[in-house]
Amino acid sequence: MFKKIMLFCLIFMISFGSFSCILADDEIDSVEIKDIDKTIETATQASQMPQIDSTYALVLDRENKQILYGKNENKKTKMASTTKIMTSLIVIENTNLNNTVEVSKKAAGTGGSRLKISAGDKITVRDLLYGLMLCSGNDAAVALAEYVGGSVAEFANLMNEKAQELGLVNTHFETPHGLDSAEHYTTPYELAILADYALNNKVFANIVKTKTCNITINGNVRTISNTNELLGNLNGVYGVKTGFTNGAGRCLVTATKRGDIDVICVVLGANTKKIRTADSVKLIEYTFNNYEKINIDEKIKSEFNNWKNINENKITIEKGKQDKVKIKLEEYNLKNYIIEKNTQDKIAIQINANLNLIAPVEQGTSIGELTVFYNNHIILKKGILTDEKIEKKDIGTYILEILQNYGNYLEEVL
């Protein structure tokens, strides 16, 4: 009887181990690629906003940090291995990638997705980063955390300091790998902001766009592959990271660029890998099929200059040494804006200003506002400012005006 129980336990452990591997950030098989192709074909033909099954989702324009789609985008949730976006960023910014790391027993024993490194193994920081981001190695995450931070806890402090620096107020880290933890969370929006920031780092960007590469462990070469199922299979995808835990569900952060539109798509809390893939593809394809980028800066400047040409000379300055003042629009950094195709008529620019001023008037004084609306939502509001200082008349100025007026009167009489 005891032998039967032991045999059952052994079979269960083997089965559970295999099941866990499948549920980790596993590699892509040919069946999945066919599913992706079918999803892409269906999504490309869709003209309506897609139905998303994942609990959390977001599409963010990288240029303006403009949300193009959101579903629970500001709610806190677990993030699984998408955590490693921050892990790799901290490592890249704080150490020499050519340094060699000796893997600790603790790092080697970390469960979940693994690079499969052993205690005592010697590997460069750079190769550990590839193992972290391509294989989603939790063992690589701990090895890097210990090397850079001295311990997992100290490394988590570095992660949280960086989160604060980036203004991620609803994000908190406890581990470098993202295994479920009570105080380890983010939001889809803040995860997208983090990914956007990380992608500006050339080292990070080169790692996450890599499909396969060779790394060296103890002098032996090993080939590893990226777990991101959309990389190389969906037009324009150039990263970023997959993830899975029981608490977080299936997760995928994807960066995609086509033409002049560059977006980050975040899908968290999917029940299956097929759902996270389908949701990501549907959101990405819908975005590129139904949105366009326009140069809104030209429209704003044209509208303001037209208004200025008509109204600048109408401004009166009571008690001022000058009776006219030059004006300008407050500086802004909005050049392009993404809108639904063929909806430029939904852009409206409203200008309101006070044309009657009383001296003194300081340079940079706001006399009104220019407001830009898209689909009845405000996308920009900037002040209309005086471009010079107007001093108040003093007694000498009044006397001079009286004399000038009297002189003009005499010339007319004579």
Handedness of CA 38, 40, 45, 51 (dihedral sign): positive
Catalytic hit among 78, 84, 273, 282: 84
The CA-based dihedral angle spanning residues 360, 363, 364, 365, taken in that order and rounded to the nearest 10 degrees = 10
Structure tokens at 262: 């560059």
DSSP H or E stretch at residue 303: helix 296-311
Catalytic hit among 54, 104, 136, 280: 136
Q: Are strands 100-102 and 122-124 parallel, antiparallel or unpaired?
A: antiparallel
Catalytic hit among 54, 81, 88, 113: 81
Angle between helices 125-133 and 84-94 (to 10 degrees): 160
Q: Which of 354, 355, 356, 361 is nearest to 320 (CA)?
A: 361
Q: Which of 1, 2, 195 is nearest to 81 (CA)?
A: 195
20 is catalytic: no
3-state secondary structure of 167: coil
Structure tokens at 129: 């980063």
Residue pair 172/163 in contact by the 8 Å Cβ criterion: yes
Structure tokens at 339: 């809108």
Site of tokens 């990501």: 280
Q: Which residues are catalytic?
A: 81, 84, 136
